[in-house]
Amino acid sequence: MMLGMRTTVTLDPDTHRLVRRAMRVRGGTFKEIVNAAIRRGLLLTAPERRPFVVKARPMGLRVTDPKALRKLDEDAEVERFLRVTRRLQEEGE
């Protein structure tokens, strides 16, 4: 016969409800349910996982010249600026 160690554990309300529910469903005592849950939780090990690998794929962009890409970005920025400026002018009228 294995002697147990007596201790006080304070359970959060949600955890206490889970233990009580398990007692009703499984028919075990508070001690049995808590011990089983602790054993399961502490004996679980993370499954072996392969490292995540990013597979590069072409995005279909035709712009390869960095200067052309910068020009596109600048044009888009100018368009955003003009839209905001027009909207602010219209709101001010």
Which pLDDT tens digit goes with each residue over 59-76? 877 766 888 888 888 999
Give the structural domain span for 37. Answer: 13-43
Look at residue 3 and tell me if it is in a domain: no
Look at residue 77 and tell me if it is in a domain: yes
pTM given for the model: 0.45
Tell me how many domains the chain contains.
Answer: 2
Q: What is the pLDDT of residues 17-50, one digit of tens each?
A: 999 999 999 999 999 999 999 988 888 776 778 8
- How far is the C-alpha of 32 from the C-alpha of 22, rounded, in Å? 10
Look at residue 29 and tell me if it is in a domain: yes
Look at residue 18 and tell me if it is in a domain: yes
Look at residue 58 and tell me if it is in a domain: no
